[in-house]
Structure 1
């Protein structure tokens, strides 16, 4: 819940302190905050498909929650990865329910990379941790 809370607080701060598409440079040529509204998924794919996300996300969260429940005897990296994935999905789902879009804000100025948010980062870290578990540790507990 800490990740979800921080994600929502940061999104609230962005929406109340920056105008839409406003850029606030934090570290020149490296990192900026840019307020964007995303009604798609990562990299703005499936733009405008809100009903799809509203139906799919609760199912994904429930499946991940079930896997997390079953993971209590698995490696901690696996459980942590699932937890991060749930937090990321929930953070963006709250935006979709509340606003009809997802608030994005982190811009990496040194590469051409889509603007993202804390929930996206949590999802990414979670997926990486689950892959690390599957590649290096799954056979230990299996």
Structure 2
């Protein structure tokens, strides 16, 4: 299972890095390119901060926080989490997304964002989707475990 976790993490990381490379080589900064989905656009942006440009003036702090977050998730995975398939997928998504953004910040000083959704106030990337999707999976898994434990207590 651990080998599969590494491979899944690497696949998610590759998807993120390949899409960022595509965006940087194809799109123009500040431009807006339509897609086949009417509310989805490609729009290249270099983000030196975190979500919504938070801490943009503190790139070293952002890099450090990114590294700490990745380390904490890896530690929790190794130390505490059950080794079920869905926990691995959720963790792989978060770790891959975190590493993808960390690699951008480390080597470029910014994250490559390029996905724009009409009505959503920020431009984001695949790593951001991976991180949020992994977090949703973890919330679902924790909620499921909580309700199973509550049900056992009533019996």
Question: Is 1:136 aligned to 2:144, yes or no?
Answer: yes
The Cα shift of 1:33 comes to 0.4
Structure 1 consecutive aligned stretches of length 4 or more whose deviation exceeds 4 Å: 138-141
Q: Which structure would you say has the larger Rg?
A: 2
Contact map agreement 2:52 2:122 (CA 8 A) in 1: yes
Gaps of 5+ in 1: none
Contact map agreement 2:81 2:87 (CA 8 A) in 1: no
| RMSD (CA atoms) | 1.9
Question: Is 1:70 aligned to 2:79, yes or no?
Answer: yes
| TM-score normalized by the length of structure 2 | 0.81
| TM-score normalized by the length of structure 1 | 0.88
Question: Is 1:93 aligned to 2:102, yes or no?
Answer: yes
Gaps of 5+ in 2: 1-9, 150-155
Q: Give the Cα separation in 1 of the matches to 2:54 and 2:81.
A: 34
Change (3 A) 1:21 1:9: same
